Every structure is written in C-alpha cells, then in structure tokens.
C-alpha cells in the first residue's frame, strides 16, 4: 500500500473563460479600493507599477502577500483569490512565454536551473531560480525598480558570494536591466495574440497517462464538470502498472486561459496540487501533480480530451527484451484500426477499447534493436517502444540533487529525494556511455548509499544522513545537533546513491550525487 495518492489529480484538466465577467468587475473594483492609494491611475487608465508587469498566478500571489506583509494592505482570502485571478487573466503570460520554465511551477525536483547568459545566472540565479525571473515580463523602467527593491529589501546582496567580487550595483542597474528588458519585455506579440482568444470549455472526460518516480507508470480518466462559480469540479481515477488504483476529487481554477491549478484529496486522505497548461491546445493538458506538503512525491501528466482527434498518449511498458513475451498497453483516445509495432514483433490482442489496447508481445531474437514507432490505424507515436538485447549502462536520475533533514520536534518536515535507475543500450558505436546510446527506460533496481569522498568517509556521513528504501526513496535523518557526530553537528552528509539493475544475471550499476543538507527556512511558491 503506497502512502501517497496523487496520480489522478493530474488529469484534472480544466479551463475557465479567460476573464470571468464577475472576476473582472470585482478585480477592477478591488484594485481601486485596496491598491489605488499607492498605485495611482495614470491618464491612460493604467496604474503605476501594477500595469508595468505580467506574471504567473503564483507570482501575483507572492506580490499580494508582500503587499500585506510589508505594507499592511488588508485583504480577505476571497479578495486575495479574486485579485490573483483578475491580474493573471489581464496581465498573465501566454503559453509560449512560460515554455521551458514550467518546472519551477510544477516543483519538479532535481532540475538544474541556468540563465541564458552568465550575467543573468550570476546576478539573478544565485539567490533563486532564473525560472522565477523568466516567468515575468516588465518594462525596462520596472526592471530597474525591481533591482532597487532587491538592494533595499536585501542589503547584504552586495556582500554575498558573486556580489562582493564585482561592482554589483553598477552591473545590476545597467547591463542586467538591459538584458532583462530585451529578453523579457512587457509587450509581446504572443500575449497580444493570446489575450484576445476566448478560453475553451474543457468540461468532459480526459484520458491521461504519466509516471511517478518510485511507483511507476499509470493511466486513467479525469472528469471535469463546470461548477457555476467560474471553475470546475474534478474526479479522477488512475491505475498503476502494478494494479494499484487511486481516486481523487477536488476543484480546479484556470488562469490566463491556460494555466490549470487544482487542489485534490485522495480517498486515502492525501492532499495534492496539480499544475498544468493547455499549451494553447484546447484538447491537451500537460504538467505535474505533487503531494501538497511533500512536493518531491509526484508524477508527470499527459492528457487528451476524449472524443478529440485520435491520439496515442503512451505505450506502457515502453520496452521489451529479445526473447521476452510481455503484455504491452497502448493508451490514448479514439484508437481504431490495425496495430503496427514494426518488424519481428509478434503480438496478439488481449483487449481493446477506444482508449486502450492491450497486447501480448513477443520480441524475436532477430528483431531490430532500438526505438520504434507504434501505430494504431492512422495515428502513431514516434519512438514509443524500445527493443533491446542487453543493458549496457545505467544512469541514476536525478544525477545530482538534495535532500533536507527535518522534523525531530521542529516545524519543518524532512525533504526526501527520489531516485530511479534508467537503463541504456549501446548505440551504433558499440560503446556504452556515448552520445548515441539508446535510452531503454526506468528499470527495477536495488539501492544503497555510500560516502561520496574521503571527507564524507571520515565523518561517516553514510551512517548519519539517512537511509534509502527499496524503491529509491532517500529518507533523510532528523534535524538538529547530533551528539554522536564530531562537535555535535547535524545529520547533513555528502553521499553517492547507487542503483544496480539485474539484467538476466548481469549486474549493471549507476551512481548519483546526493547532498543531504539543512532545512529550507524560506520556501516561496516560486523558488
């Protein structure tokens, strides 16, 4: 029995009209009443500072929270939510403008965040993700005001690493502002085109597939029903590859015409959040779900509207070995017609519906190795099934990440780290670990940890920092001083995480680097 429910929440895709009339009216009224004293209205109807930026719903929420915490603005919970919706709808981001940086909204663990230039990485990305910057648009004047705010609110900025070795203010107020204004301007064709489009009604059934690290693949159905309040009610049901079924219900709000946010509760009581986007296509939704108080635990979501154009979402499992016979399921919508898996794969149908086709597949020894397309009738999915002869190498992912100690009577819970072992087959050059290697997929593995270097060995980090479970979940140790360690230090550590895949008796090993560190004491919605 798994501790966390969540996969279904994922599919809960839905969308609302871009600017709900009541929200628009209430939002404009609230801005005048709650914000107008400081943010005066200009002659053209725009407002100082407020009208000079566009942001995601999370970023607008952070702005409103800062106004209440620092400047004493009084907002009820309903007023806060109304303003977030209004500002996101009128001054949000188009789907293309958030592309490439959605990982910070989806709280995807183990992502390496780097800015497009060295200066933006060093000036902005040293304190928070560059994605947090990239999910905003401002006038050049407002970018400069933001730099002023940074130094006023955080005066030690100039004395920290990557600040004290340069003329921080000179660079931040000139070169960095110029780069930001050019890269992330307030006005854009993408937003002008997107804002004028009516948002689609996403009520109905949605097929979805996904993968939760540590638990495996899943597929299911989400049903969205307009609730008459500008949002949707959602119910989801997902089935994992091991047969475990998870169900959840909740509510959804859509911002900016495409930004899907849901809060769900599973039948086991677990609370989840879902972050997705239509990407500008009314028939698809993609993103990630995660456990509300433990966002490392979660999974991907790829969903398509039932009744839309025939589409293959996924093939599960996505690989088969020479000489093996296995059940393989093609998931999608509108699936009709003959199945094609390519040459030298024998198969028979076990079951078929418009949403899934289960096959019993046998890979002959003569079947060509590598990724092959899977087709049903006139629709296909490129590289959906990999045929392999042996596992030549294993990569443990994420290859570098962190876990955080916590608990032990303190208010901050420990933050785990989830690892997976991904098998690879050597490519045409016959050598493992080169660019032409073929990714097979996530494979079962045995897990262990080791001290990363001589210092970790001397401090016995492996013995104190935490333990890893049989599904690759590293559970960090308790927070606070530990009298058993030198100088009663805490349970931080520097570890190697080792995953070993058994490929028919051949043990293939991969390693990752794990830093077990202290609690995150400030944890904003966008990190």
Render pLDDT for 57-111 as a digit per residue (tens, 0 to 9). 999 999 999 999 999 999 999 999 999 999 999 999 999 999 999 999 999 999 9
189 exposed, middle or buried (CB, 10 Å; 0-12, 13-18, 19+)?
Answer: exposed
- The contacts of residue 218 (CB under 8 Å, 6+ apart) are 7, 209, 210, 211, 212, 238, 239, 240, 241, 246, 299
Rounded Cα gap, residues 405 and 411, in angstroms:
12
Tell whether 455 and 468 lie within a shared domain. yes
Considering 353, 388, 423, which residue would you say is the last residue of a domain?
A: 388
- Give me the CATH number covering residue 447: 2.60.40.10
Tell whether 336 and 417 lie within a shared domain. no
Residue 388 forms beta bridges with which residues?
A: 321
Label residue 20 by pLDDT band (50, 70, 90).
low
Residues found in the chain: 527
CA angle 381, 383, 386 (to 5 degrees): 125
108 assigned to some structural domain: no
pLDDT of 305 higher than 50: yes
Tell whether 215 and 257 lie within a shared domain. yes
Rounded Cα gap, residues 367 and 346, in angstroms:
10
Rounded Cα gap, residues 301 and 10, in angstroms:
6
CA angle 383, 387, 389 (to 5 degrees): 145
Query: CA nearest 4: which of 282, 292, 262?
Result: 292
pLDDT of 161 higher than 80: yes
Dihedral of the alpha carbons of 43, 46, 52, 57, in degrees to the nearest 10: 170
Domain count, the chain: 3
Rounded Cα gap, residues 274 and 260, in angstroms:
8
Question: 141 near 197, Cβ under 8 Å?
Answer: no
Considering 273, 305, 337, which residue would you say is the last residue of a domain?
A: 305
Tell whether 443 and 464 lie within a shared domain. yes
β-bridge pairing 400-404 and 466-468: unpaired
Q: What is the pLDDT of residue 198?
A: 86
483 assigned to some structural domain: yes
- Paired tokens of 144: 């400069």
Average of per-residue pLDDT across 341-349: 96
Cis (ω within 30 of 0) for the bond into 317? yes
Coil vs helix vs strand at 403? strand
Give 330 or 10, the one with higher predicted confidence.
330
Coil vs helix vs strand at 221? strand
442 assigned to some structural domain: yes
Rounded Cα gap, residues 315 and 325, in angstroms:
15
488 assigned to some structural domain: yes
DSSP for 38-103, please give it: TSPBPTTS-BTTGGGEEE-HHHHHHHHHHHHHHH-----HHHHHHHHHHHHHHS---HHHHTT-TH
- Paired tokens of 270: 């677990």
Question: 442 near 211, Cβ under 8 Å?
Answer: yes
Rounded Cα gap, residues 63 and 7, in angstroms:
30
pLDDT in tens, 373-425: 999 999 999 999 999 999 999 999 999 999 999 999 999 999 999 999 999 99
pLDDT in tens, 187-225: 999 999 999 888 889 999 999 999 999 999 999 999 999
171 assigned to some structural domain: no
Tell whether 323 and 268 lie within a shared domain. no
- Token pair 């097929």 is at which residue? 207
Q: What is the pLDDT of residue 16?
A: 36
264 assigned to some structural domain: yes
Tell whether 472 and 397 lie within a shared domain. yes
pLDDT of 14 higher than 70: no
**Percent of all residues in the chain with a pLDDT value above 70, rounded to a whole number:** 95
Q: What is the pLDDT of residue 21?
A: 57
DSSP for 295-306, please give it: EEEEEEEEEEET
- Token pair 């006038």 is at which residue? 139
Q: What is the pLDDT of residue 17?
A: 36
Residue 511 forms beta bridges with which residues?
A: 498
Residues of the domain holding 480 = 393-517
β-bridge pairing 379-388 and 319-321: parallel
Label residue 268 by pLDDT band (50, 70, 90).
confident
351 exposed, middle or buried (CB, 10 Å; 0-12, 13-18, 19+)?
Answer: exposed
Considering 305, 334, 354, which residue would you say is the last residue of a domain?
A: 305
Tell whether 300 and 326 lie within a shared domain. no
39 assigned to some structural domain: no
Tell whether 408 and 495 lie within a shared domain. yes
Tell whether 397 and 384 lie within a shared domain. no
245 exposed, middle or buried (CB, 10 Å; 0-12, 13-18, 19+)?
Answer: middle
Question: What is the DSSP secondary structure assignment for residue 172, as one 8-state letter?
Answer: I
pLDDT in tens, 430-476: 999 999 999 999 999 999 999 999 999 999 999 999 999 999 999 99
Question: 314 near 302, Cβ under 8 Å?
Answer: yes
Average pLDDT, the chain: 94
Rounded Cα gap, residues 321 and 432, in angstroms:
18
Rounded Cα gap, residues 92 and 222, in angstroms:
26
- The contacts of residue 286 (CB under 8 Å, 6+ apart) are 276, 277, 279, 300, 301, 302, 303
pLDDT in tens, 484-522: 999 999 999 999 999 999 999 999 999 999 999 999 999
- Paired tokens of 443: 């494979």
pLDDT in tens, 134-144: 999 999 999 99
- The contacts of residue 257 (CB under 8 Å, 6+ apart) are 15, 17, 18, 89, 92, 194, 195, 197, 199, 278
Label residue 230 by pLDDT band (50, 70, 90).
confident
Tell whether 399 and 511 lie within a shared domain. yes
pLDDT of 323 higher than 60: yes
Alpha helices (runs of H) in 107-139, residue ranges in sequence order = 118-123, 130-134
Average of per-residue pLDDT across 269-273: 95
294 assigned to some structural domain: yes
Tell whether 424 and 341 lie within a shared domain. no
Question: 350 near 361, Cβ under 8 Å?
Answer: no
- Give me the CATH number covering residue 241: 2.40.128.120
Tell whether 221 and 290 lie within a shared domain. yes
């Amino acid at each position: 029995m798994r501790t966390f429910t969540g996969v279904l929440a994922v599919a809960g895709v839905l969308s609302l009209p871009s600017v709900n009339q009541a929200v628009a009216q209430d939002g404009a009224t609230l801005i005048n009443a709650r914000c107008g004293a400081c943010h005066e209205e200009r002659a053209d109807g725009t407002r100082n500072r407020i009208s000079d930026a566009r942001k995601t719903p999370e970023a607008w929420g952070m702005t409103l929270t800062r106004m209440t915490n620092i400047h004493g603005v009084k907002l009820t919970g309903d007023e806060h939510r109304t303003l977030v919706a209004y500002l996101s709808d009128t001054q949000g981001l188009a789907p293309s403008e958030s592309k490439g940086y959605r990982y910070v909204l989806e709280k995807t663990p183990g992502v390496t965040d780097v800015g497009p230039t060295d200066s933006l990485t060093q000036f902005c990305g040293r304190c928070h993700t560059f994605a947090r910057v990239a999910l905003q648009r401002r006038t050049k004047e407002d970018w400069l005001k933001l730099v002023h705010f940074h130094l006023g609110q955080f005066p030690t900025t100039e004395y920290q690493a990557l600040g004290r070795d340069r003329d921080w203010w000179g660079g931040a107020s000139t070169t960095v502002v110029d780069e930001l204004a050019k890269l992330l301007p307030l006005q854009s064709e993408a937003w002008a085109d997107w804002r004028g489009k009516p948002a689609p009604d996403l009520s109905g059934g949605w097929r979805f597939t996904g993968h939760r690290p540590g638990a495996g693949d899943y597929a299911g159905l989400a049903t969205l029903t307009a609730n008459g309040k500008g949002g949707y009610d959602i119910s989801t049901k997902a089935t994992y590859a091991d047969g475990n079924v998870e169900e959840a219900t909740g509510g959804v709000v859509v911002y900016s015409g495409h930004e899907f946010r849901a809060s769900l509760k599973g039948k086991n009581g677990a609370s989840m959040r879902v972050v997705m986007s239509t990407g500008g296509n009314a028939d698809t939704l993609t993103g990630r779900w995660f456990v509300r108080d433990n966002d490392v635990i979660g999974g991907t979501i790829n969903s398509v509207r039932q009744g839309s154009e025939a589409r293959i979402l996924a093939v599960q499992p996505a690989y088969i070995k020479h000489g093996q016979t296995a059940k393989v399921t093609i998931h999608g919508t509108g699936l009709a017609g003959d199945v094609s898996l390519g040459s030298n794969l024998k198969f028979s149908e076990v079951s078929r519906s418009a949403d899934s086709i289960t096959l019993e597949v046998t890979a002959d020894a003569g079947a060509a190795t590598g990724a092959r397309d899977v087709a049903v009738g006139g629709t296909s999915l490129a590289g959906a099934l990999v045929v392999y002869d042996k596992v030549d190498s294993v990569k443990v992912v994420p290859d570098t990440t962190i876990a955080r100690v916590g608990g032990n009577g303190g208010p901050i819970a420990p933050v785990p780290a989830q690892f997976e072992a991904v098998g690879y087959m050597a490519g045409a050059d016959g050598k493992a670990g080169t660019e032409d290697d073929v990714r097979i997929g996530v494979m079962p593995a045995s897990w262990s940890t080791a001290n990363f270097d001589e210092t970790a060995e001397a401090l016995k980090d492996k013995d104190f920092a935490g333990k890893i479970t049989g599904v690759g979940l590293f559970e960090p140790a308790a927070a606070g001083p530990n009298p058993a360690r030198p100088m009663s230090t805490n349970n931080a550590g520097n570890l190697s995480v080792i995953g070993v895949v058994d490929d028919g008796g051949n043990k293939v090993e991969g390693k990752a680097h794990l830093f077990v560190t202290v609690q995150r004491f400030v944890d904003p919605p966008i990190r």
